[in-house]
Amino acid sequence: MLFGKHRHVVSASRRTDIPALYAEWFMDKIRKGFCKVANPYNHSQVKVVSLRPDDVAAVVFWTRYARPLRPFLEELDERGFNYYFLYTITGYPNSYESGLPSCEECIEDFLALGECIGAEKVIWRYDPVITSSRMHMGFHMRNFEKLALRLSAGTKKVVVTFVKKYRHIEKKLEEMGYVPPSSHERQVLEEHFRSLTAGAGLQIQRCGKRDSFANVSEGKCIDERLMRELFGLELSSAKDPGQPEECRCIRSIDIGRYGSCLHRCVYCYASRNFSQAVRRYREHDYRAEML
């Protein structure tokens, strides 16, 4: 089945970091005009996704390091693609995210991306917020302040959510000394974060209905309102039925694959076996139709 009859939004990707790890594959598919995607729960079901500019309303990139894709952005522009980035930077200790470049490298990349495409097209995600004996209230207050002051030059919005306890990461969270914040601690953090973002000229949002601050407005990561503002697109506001109940994103087609990210975030929901992810990455052929 070819998804090209109506213009669709491409998610690249909730399932892996395409800009950081698979930029060459992505651009090869852009040039060929399509890719294939397997149903993550039934790999025998494969669909063809058009990547022709006439069929793609916009591409939403999810990343933790965009530098490998940045050299190709001019080509995307020339081909007529609309796009924006959801860029996660947490500044957590290396042991929590051991596969990432240094925080300073990510900050520099984030700012370079904002300068290149415009701050309104780069959304910072401070997600997930994890409170533990090591990353206590004081840590998050100092850490968020440091990041907000630096990143405000490259963005206009930050999304903040608390960690979701997926079953397969519960043991890892216990090993991290995870302790859910009390209602008082949440209130203190919220007041601090809202004060900082107001001072830095940033809009603060929550990720849909996910666990976040009580008085922070609900947002969408894949957002028809933002795409209308940025690109003049008129898209349906209907929630994507394929996403969890707490997600408010509009419909999109995700072209990624679970179990293929190398960032080694201990709280990751998308990769459960990092050794397998490394093997898949080494065996991957950028010319393959499917990631």
Would you say residue 161 lies in a domain?
Answer: yes
Helices 183-200, 137-151: crossing angle, 10 deg rounding? 20
Asked whether residue 12 carries a pLDDT value surpassing 50, the answer given is yes
Report d(CA 172, CA 190) in Å as an integer.
26
pLDDT interval class at 243 (50, 70, 90): very high
Local structure of residue 249 (DSSP, 8 states): P
Would you say residue 128 lies in a domain?
Answer: yes
Query: Could you give the percent of the chain with pLDDT greater than 70?
Result: 98
- For residues 178-192, average pLDDT: 93
Would you say residue 72 lies in a domain?
Answer: yes
* pLDDT (0 to 100) of residue 18: 98
Report d(CA 168, CA 42) in Å as an integer.
20
Do β-strands 83-88 and 56-63 pair in parallel, antiparallel, or remain unpaired?
parallel
Asked whether residue 251 carries a pLDDT value surpassing 70, the answer given is yes
Asked if 73 and 65 count as a contact pair (C-beta separation under 8 A), the reply is: no
Task: Give the residue among 162, 154, 161 at the shortest CA–CA distance from 201.
Answer: 154
Would you say residue 233 lies in a domain?
Answer: yes
* pLDDT (0 to 100) of residue 3: 41
Would you say residue 9 lies in a domain?
Answer: yes
- For residues 24-52, average pLDDT: 96
Would you say residue 291 lies in a domain?
Answer: no
pLDDT interval class at 167 (50, 70, 90): confident
* pLDDT (0 to 100) of residue 173: 87
The tally of domains found in the chain comes to 1
Cα angle: 16, vertex 17, 22; to 5 degrees:
105
Range of the domain at 140: 2-283
Would you say residue 288 lies in a domain?
Answer: no
Do β-strands 56-63 and 8-12 pair in parallel, antiparallel, or remain unpaired?
parallel
pLDDT interval class at 1 (50, 70, 90): very low
Tokens of 186: 């949440």
CATH number at residue 156: 3.80.30
* pLDDT (0 to 100) of residue 4: 37
Asked whether residue 184 carries a pLDDT value surpassing 90, the answer given is yes
Tokens of 222: 């894949």
